[in-house]
Structure 1
Amino acid sequence: MSEDKGFSRLIDTMERLRSDSGCEWDREQTHSSLKPYLIEEAYEVLDAIERADDEMLVEELGDLLLQVVFHAQIASERGAFDSSDIVNRLTDKLVRRHPHVFAQASGYSYRQWERIKAEEKGATHSSPVGRINQALPALSLARRTVENAVEMNLDELDEDEVSQGILKSAGEMSRSIESEDIERIEESMGELLMEIARCAVMNKIDPERRLRLKVEEYMNKLESAYRHNEGSS
């Protein structure tokens, strides 16, 4: 089956599910009610990538695509937009943001990419802050902010300065814990996490991914301890 026919079949299937003769649960869904599923499916795609499992990745990408088609169908029913609008807008955006490929322009430029994005959104300036999605998880938000600051030459990420920043923040947090000052603990913890994000960008590390892997290690240790305790009882 061709890609066009496969996608059309998916659109038709979702339309049928939302019809009067379709599925009651599907008909009841709204943009808001689907929000948890969108987040869940995105993280399941990440899990499949981490596991390097192609079969799982195909499955999870399909579930994520379902969320896109689901939202498109709901929007289509109220006359807002449909799947074709999504695909066409995305294609136009890709062409517009790659003038070095589709137009007579020089090679790729980060500043050019950001300028085009800003123009699309009607921005009058190119701030490294305003372009970032504030809904990102905190560590990812910190990483993206630092990356943009580096690209705009607003943060040089000097190795000694970053190292000293981590040591200073860790020392302040240690003293705050000793004094049992909750507000100072919270403040110093935030400063330490921000310095860790700067260190991660400097070393081209994704802090969100590294933390997730450490959490998985911790969960495995808990599981082992639980099984050991169960076997001893």
Structure 2
Amino acid sequence: MRITVAGLGADGRADEKVLSAARAAARTVLLAEIPNNLRENAIRYETLDSFREPDENAGGLSEAAEKALLSDGTVFIAPGDVCFDATAAKLLRSALEKGAQVSVISGGDRALCAAFRCGYADGTGGVRIHTAASFERARETDEVLVINGVETKRAACGLKQKLLKYYGAMHEVFFTDIRGNNGKIIPLFLLDSMEAYGYYTSIVLRPVPLERKARFGFYDLVAIMDRLRGENGCPWDNEQTHESLKRYLLEESYEVIEAIDEGDIKALYDELGDVLLQVVFHSRIAEQRGEFDISDVTTAICSKMISRHTHIFGDVCADTSQQVLKNWEQIKKAEKGHESQSAVLSGVPKSMPALLRSEKVQSKAAGAGMDFPGFADAVLKLHEEIGELKDALSGSGNVTEECGDLLFAAVNLVRLAGAEPETALQRATDKFIARFSAAEKSAAEQGIDMRSCGPEKLNELWDNAKKK
């Protein structure tokens, strides 16, 4: 049994190869009644609809239609490139399973056509086509990958090393010589062990199922979240809301900061992944509520980065970091419709940690000219606030308010000193913990009870800890 599957051109017209096959066919079947040039070339044809029962849904390939088409001499014609047609792909697989000889007439990529004819892969789920010289990495492994022009063994070796990052060593590769429209399936690790290579050498790789991927891309995470939040998904994930996830976003952010502070690169990329999960999680919840989806998130940040980097994507000049930051704030102010710097200050989120919020407010106020002339003036302000706190403690003021003023003045002083207040305080806290641990250990070794030994002994223990 011989079967031919073919495609009409982009203009809906069959080329001479397709016309020749149709003239010699025992039966010619067109996927659907669309404008074509078959009848004007004296070719009689049927459409797939003629094999369906009156109440049968259109689309796909029914059992009855498949049985009728799997007869010797049938030519099945789909619109466009036949390698991308799902009905043609199903018919071809069924024909191969029954031992039929299958011919494919396609005006598209010859390597994909060869893989399609052999039943190895089709383009129904998407195809990415590269040349060996330009290929760098497989961004998505859920589509068919075609790489043409594997001209030398060295090129094949380099290609193999790149592909092994994304596909397993035993992943099946369709290796083809496009001059003959044939090929064979080999494991990826043998890609650079073939007998001959040339401009005519191409490879095709099938998609990798999600559960078997060696590496994942961004949209794999999106797909995983869709499944977790989908029907028959994870009960816990389906119960979550924007509100219930707030604590996890904070926790994961702090863990990123800790990984950076500790210089732990492995932990850093792991924790960044946890933060990314939160972004995808919130986006999926919003999508299910009809609010926004992940593409709105990526569009927002990409648009923002382009609009605020006019020195890169526009014609604004900014040769220093200071100029860049100034432009950034001006553009941000215009985007948010802030007509005054007061509006900018009010826009700093109240949900920020107080230390970080106070530093950010001071920095933005300084951008409008509200700042001390120098570091010495900030020192005097700090002493002034200490004095006011002493007065409050004596009963002539609000202690909580004066404590806040003192902390605010301290943050200002640290900022003007060129340090980052949050980082400075974290390091001071870490230092205190380390010294306290040393003092506690020393007290235990000497049999001293720190709760009752008195201030003088505590100072001695502390001074000794500072020396270590």
Q: TM-score under structure 2 normalisation?
A: 0.46
The residue that corresponds to 1:112 in the other structure is: 327
CA gap of 1:3–1:164, structure 2 versus 1, over 3 A, is farther
Query: Which sits farther off after the overlay, 201-210 or 106-115?
Result: 106-115
Query: Which sits farther off after the overlay, 104-113 or 193-202?
Result: 104-113
Counterparts of 1:132-143 in structure 2, within 5 Å, are 132-143=348-359
Counterparts of 1:57-206 in structure 2, within 5 Å, are 57-107=268-318, 108-127=323-342, 128-177=344-393, 179=394, 181=395, 184-206=398-420
The residue that corresponds to 2:427 in the other structure is: 213
Aligned partner of 1:215: which letter?
Answer: T
Tell me how many residue pairs correspond in the alignment. 231
Counterparts of 1:22-37 in structure 2, within 5 Å, are 22-37=233-248
Q: Displacement of 1:117 after TM fit?
A: 1.2
Q: Displacement of 1:175 after TM fit?
A: 4.1
CA gap of 1:19–1:145, structure 2 versus 1, over 3 A, is same
Q: Within 2, Cα distance between the matches of 1:173 and 1:3?
A: 60
Query: Which sits farther off after the overlay, 63-72 or 147-156?
Result: 147-156
The residue that corresponds to 2:75 in the other structure is: none
CA gap of 1:154–1:44, structure 2 versus 1, over 3 A, is same
After superposition, the C-alpha distances for 1:53-75 in whole angstroms (9 at most, x for unaligned) are 10111111111111001001111
**Counterpart contact for 1:115–1:126, Cα < 8 Å:** no
Q: Within 2, Cα distance between the matches of 1:154 and 1:230?
A: 52
Unaligned residue ranges in structure 2 (runs of 5+): 1-136, 142-216, 450-468
Q: Displacement of 1:187 after TM fit?
A: 2.3
The residue that corresponds to 2:252 in the other structure is: 41
Query: Secondary structure, in 3 states, of the residue corresponding to 2:311?
Result: helix
Q: Higher relative contact order at CA 8 Å, sep ≥6: structure 1 or structure 2?
A: 1
Q: Displacement of 1:115 after TM fit?
A: 2.6
Query: Secondary structure, in 3 states, of the residue corresponding to 2:244?
Result: coil
Query: Secondary structure, in 3 states, of the residue corresponding to 2:286?
Result: helix
Query: Which sits farther off after the overlay, 163-172 or 106-115?
Result: 106-115
Q: Displacement of 1:138 after TM fit?
A: 1.0
**Counterpart contact for 2:341–2:368, Cα < 8 Å:** no
**Counterpart contact for 2:391–2:397, Cα < 8 Å:** no
Q: Within 1, Cα distance between the matches of 2:404 and 2:257?
A: 26
Unaligned residue ranges in structure 1 (runs of 5+): none
Q: Displacement of 1:183 after TM fit?
A: 5.5
Query: Secondary structure, in 3 states, of the residue corresponding to 1:106?
Result: coil
Q: Within 1, Cα distance between the matches of 2:268 and 2:262?
A: 9
CA gap of 1:58–1:117, structure 2 versus 1, over 3 A, is same
Q: Within 1, Cα distance between the matches of 2:406 and 2:435?
A: 26
| Identity over aligned pairs, percent | 33
CA gap of 1:79–1:48, structure 2 versus 1, over 3 A, is same
**Counterpart contact for 2:308–2:331, Cα < 8 Å:** yes
Q: Displacement of 1:154 after TM fit?
A: 1.7
CA gap of 1:2–1:90, structure 2 versus 1, over 3 A, is farther
Q: Within 1, Cα distance between the matches of 2:304 and 2:397?
A: 45
**Counterpart contact for 1:114–1:126, Cα < 8 Å:** no
4+ aligned runs moved over 6 Å, structure 1:
228-231
From 227, 233, 242, give the equivalent of 1:16: 227
Matched, 1:56 2:270: no
Q: Displacement of 1:103 after TM fit?
A: 0.8
Q: Within 2, Cα distance between the matches of 1:184 and 1:20?
A: 57
Q: Within 1, Cα distance between the matches of 2:407 and 2:383?
A: 12
**Counterpart contact for 1:110–1:151, Cα < 8 Å:** no
Query: Which sits farther off after the overlay, 47-56 or 156-165?
Result: 156-165
Query: Secondary structure, in 3 states, of the residue corresponding to 1:49?
Result: helix
Aligned partner of 2:298: which letter?
Answer: V
Q: Displacement of 1:79 after TM fit?
A: 1.6
